[in-house]
Structure 1
């Protein structure tokens, strides 16, 4: 009989329209709830929902703070915009978080904001960051994954002369706690991003609750893996599902459908304000009833 992977559950707390103390409360609570194995932030510099002028925290700085305040949870940014930071700098940031957390980082990365999302698009101009076309962004992501992995694993300085990234004397020291490197999660649904995931990802995440679409995209990833001679089973399938506190039943059904479709890394998106005891509620009302 084929082996059925174990399903893990995590939470996502988008760090916008919320106070740091509230985020810290939820993460500390989740750290004590064994059913919740991982926790995630997102990577936007301005809100993409609610008051466009409301608060939004920088994801990696916040992740490092939360890493220091937790002991058990695996943690990450779902997903880092490769458009925001040069890959060598990002590799250094991620290494620092892996060390602060004692080796609990899952490294999430993606192309960056969709060009058709105006609230996400505006953050580039607002921070003086270029917004290149999709083909440029996907090719840049592929090079970034190569550079980051080399910085995490190679013991000698190296030069890298790519189309989009060029480094001279690149070297990462210290190395991450996890060897050979933290797991790489690539997020996205486009065919071009799936090609990058087939080559570089340990986990692949798709946002959203259309399970049929997610399954079709997962099958496409299988095909791209086969084309380069990689076993598709070596890439864990991850999905983000939004949570309604008032009506948890649809989320529970979506969890069961996702697991049946081969997604065994489930990320439950929590909206602010967070109810008291929300992590325990997630375990009791969603996780325990779905498995």
Structure 2
């Protein structure tokens, strides 16, 4: 098999802000940066998604601000922010502020939202999958317009990562607005949806094959088994995840080592 270069490939880790005291989360961030990951993500929920549904949990964006101060090198972001939880202009300002705190290392990961308990307990209208995607499509130009007006402006053009795999609507929003597309699924699913994304790109006049980085979760996958296939499918940001209280980064370390050995 022809070896595919890992130049430009990045390794991320999502530190799920659940089932841990904040000191344990802070320590996991330090360990992840020391390991050599390129990006550290959290998620934007108000309750645990796995394990005890009423277990320990912390909020996304206040945490990202703390991580921005704590870290020196890694990029940071949510995988992903729920568009429904904040006014687009406010979210733009929050992202700009964290971008400055970090010295220009923020990725704005964003999606349409899906976890109904968050909506019900915090008083947001859940609507339908279609209405939430439509809201995301309407929010993206507002976020970018607010960035253009803010003083000071963001440190850099903040990369937008949109998560989701809906083929008719979500991938259309990705084609119009994203710098990074994050999805889940096996290699064949990624290939098929990536091709659909490029079809949407052609329809909206963007060369998504070159302008939109492909990102995928690699939880439970050993790089010796999955690495080459992911590269061949065009994925360049590969992200593991870890949950509290222990934040086991052993799989993340394997992917970092694989990246470094291939360079």
TM-score clears 0.5: yes
| Deviation of 1:8 (Å) | 1.1
Q: Which residue number corresponds to residue 30 of structure 2?
A: 28
Q: What SS is found at the alignment partner of 2:46?
A: coil
More helix by share: 2
Q: What SS is found at the alignment partner of 2:34?
A: coil
Kept in 2: contact 1:240–1:268 (CA 8 A): yes
Q: Which residue number corresponds to residue 232 of structure 2?
A: 260
Mapped partners of 2:151, 2:199: distance in 1:
37
Kept in 2: contact 1:252–1:289 (CA 8 A): no
Q: What SS is found at the alignment partner of 1:230?
A: coil
Kept in 2: contact 1:256–1:290 (CA 8 A): no
Do structure 1's residue 90 and structure 2's residue 67 form an aligned pair? Answer: no
Q: TM-score, normalised by structure 1?
A: 0.82
Kept in 1: contact 2:32–2:249 (CA 8 A): no
Mapped partners of 1:56, 1:63: distance in 2:
14
Do structure 1's residue 135 and structure 2's residue 130 form an aligned pair? Answer: yes
| Deviation of 1:277 (Å) | 7.5
Do structure 1's residue 239 and structure 2's residue 216 form an aligned pair? Answer: yes
| Deviation of 1:121 (Å) | 1.3
Q: Which residue number corresponds to residue 61 of structure 2?
A: 60
Do structure 1's residue 70 and structure 2's residue 71 form an aligned pair? Answer: yes
Structure 2 gap ranges (5+) = none
Structure 1's consecutive aligned runs of 4 or more residues displaced over 4 angstroms after TM superposition are 276-282, 288-291
Kept in 2: contact 1:206–1:214 (CA 8 A): yes
- C-alpha RMSD of matched pairs (Å): 2.1
Kept in 2: contact 1:82–1:141 (CA 8 A): yes
Kept in 2: contact 1:29–1:279 (CA 8 A): no
| Structure of greater relative contact order (alpha carbons < 8 Å, 6+ residues apart) | 2
Kept in 1: contact 2:240–2:252 (CA 8 A): no
Q: What SS is found at the alignment partner of 1:106?
A: strand
Q: TM-score, normalised by structure 2?
A: 0.90
Structure 1 gap ranges (5+) = 114-119, 155-171
| Deviation of 1:56 (Å) | 1.5
- 1:215-230 pair list within 5 angstroms: 215-230=191-206
1:202 corresponds, among 160, 179, 200, to 179
Do structure 1's residue 270 and structure 2's residue 242 form an aligned pair? Answer: yes
Do structure 1's residue 283 and structure 2's residue 260 form an aligned pair? Answer: no
